[in-house]
Amino acid sequence: MKRFLVLIGIAMCAALPALALRTAGWRLGPVVDTAIFGVAILAAGFLLSWGAEAAERHIAQGLILAAVALITVLPEYAVDMYYAFQAGQAGPESPYVHYAAANMTGANRLLVGVAWPLLALLHWIKDRHRVIELTNDNAIEVSFLLLASLYAFVILFKGSITLFDFTMLVAIFGGYVWRVRNVRKSENPDEEDEPGPAAALNELPLRTQWIVMAGLGLAACGIILWSAAPFAEAMIEAGRALGISEFLLIQWLAPLASEAPAVSIAVLFVLRGRAAGGLITMISDKINQWTLLVGMLPLAMTVGAGGATALPLDARQIEEFFLTASQSLFGVALLMRLRFSLLSATALALLFLVQVSLAYYFRNDEIRTIATLSGLAWVYLALASMLFIWNGRRLLEIIRFTLRSSTAPANPKTLNSARGEC
């Protein structure tokens, strides 16, 4: 418990400079401001993750699950909602429209292209296991990620993210929460202990646990809301000051800061010998961001504009969204056998490295950038199509399992048969 208190103290101290700067209205330069406010958001994200992970032990209702899922990624939401809100105030031609879309696509691609492969690599290094095996119940996560990924192509064809899309994506996330409400809790007693600081929280009396978790959540929310706007603006100014595309900075730097706490929890799962739990945590975060984060952009823009409006996607953003949707579909295709192999992780990581390298190389050539994004998206889509055709029977089994009544007992032979390296 003492170690946990030390960690909380470190996180709070890391956030203090940002709180002081924002309260006093001081600025130390765009680069320094980006670092200070970014560290504060990172620290707040860790506070949220510790509290949320401990709370999941006591969760039984879908409504609370949705709240915890939303709180866990609040750092990402705060920055993206700020950009979308400013886009609504400034108009559809504002660069804030591009910033909102960049942050969203970057966050989603980082999860699949970096976080998933990282877990597989750590699992292999620790236990020399080349495959992370999932359970039958995890077919639910795979199915809903597939549904969200397919709906992304509807948005792509429309060329904008509207309030109707907000309704549909929230409905998908609500269906996911409803479907997993009875299968979230582990039946394996060896998996009851949460990793990391959450384990220390669970040693406290129940009432004290809730007090501490509520305190962590309130403190973290305050830090994030107080730091999001200056962090978002500082990144734009830092990009211009350093001669780096602010679009690329927002697309990759902001998600790195906001995703780090959630990824660290998943890493702890792997190091504790619970690789499947870590991977499912990242898949759940992907579902969250691919539904709620995307859907809330037009809502924030509408609030900023003072009337119903949509987030438009220009030629560059259409290709960015196309690449993100195709990568997501390829990630789902790799999970069809309810396993994630080192080979699959390598494929995702290499393709992600290629897209980032080419995006940086062609950063000053918009036409070649768009062509590169489109070409890579078609590569993802072609690979995904081949895997879906190859595993067509598995796909049908996963969908049937997900559509089955949540109270119906699972047949272990249904989805565990015919597993192979994918």
Q: Average pLDDT over the chain, rounded to whole?
A: 82
Asked if pLDDT for residue 116 goes beyond 90, the answer is yes
End-to-end Cα spacing for the chain: 42
Tens of pLDDT, residue by residue over 5-17, are 777 888 888 888 8
* Domains of the chain, residue spans: 14-317
- Specify the higher pLDDT residue, 47 or 414: 47
Average pLDDT over residues 75-94: 84
Determine which of 112-126, 140-154, 262-276, 371-385 has the lowest per-residue pLDDT on average.
Answer: 262-276
Average pLDDT over residues 236-255: 81
The rounded distance, in Å, linking the Cα atoms of 184 and 384 is 28
Q: Is 109 within 8 Å of 399 (Cβ atoms)? A: no
The rounded distance, in Å, linking the Cα atoms of 372 and 365 is 11
**364: number of Cβ within 10 Å:** 8
Look-up of token digits 């739990």 = 277
pLDDT band for position 59 (50/70/90)? low
Average pLDDT over residues 246-259: 79
Tens of pLDDT, residue by residue over 333-384, are 999 999 999 999 999 999 999 988 887 777 666 777 788 888 899 999 999 9
Residue 336 dihedral angles phi and psi, to the nearest 5°: -60, -30
Average pLDDT over residues 60-84: 66
Q: How far is CA 351 from CA 117, 145, 378, 410, in A?
A: 11, 20, 12, 35
pLDDT band for position 412 (50/70/90)? very low
Asked if pLDDT for residue 327 goes beyond 90, the answer is yes
Residue 131 dihedral angles phi and psi, to the nearest 5°: -140, 135
Query: In the prediction, which pLDDT does 418 show?
Result: 47
pLDDT band for position 19 (50/70/90)? confident
Tens of pLDDT, residue by residue over 160-204, are 999 999 999 999 998 988 888 766 544 444 444 555 566 666 677
Query: In the prediction, which pLDDT does 147 show?
Result: 95
Query: In the prediction, which pLDDT does 421 show?
Result: 47
